[in-house]
Homo-oligomer: A and B are copies of this chain.
């Protein structure tokens, strides 16, 4: 049996739910998303991101960063700032963002690892 507790976790988790506007330019939106992925994946402290869905049709995008500083660097990245503006002005009808700080993290294995 092994129990591992992360000491002083720093990870940040971002939830992002979006609804595109009727008539939004989906091609431009797709290209913009791909460009944002390209940039964020090269940023120090970026851990990963993925879209998750529940059985009842809830869909949420989850991104993880090593710490507040790396998330803040991404939030303020110049191309990303411009895309955030386009998100509000061109693409989204609605979005919801929740930023969380990991406060406890642990892992358990029934057999020693």
- List residues of chain A with CB under 8 Å of any chain B CB: 1, 11, 13, 15, 21, 50-56, 58, 60, 88, 92-111
Contacts and interface: CB of A to CB of B under 8 A. Distances in A.
B54 A54 contact: no
Oligomer copy total: 2
Contacts of A101: 100-101, 103
Contacts of A104: 97-99
A92 B110 contact: yes
A29 to B, nearest CB: 14
Contacts of A98: 11, 13, 102, 104-105
A97 B92 contact: no
Nearest to A64: B98
A86 to B, nearest CB: 12
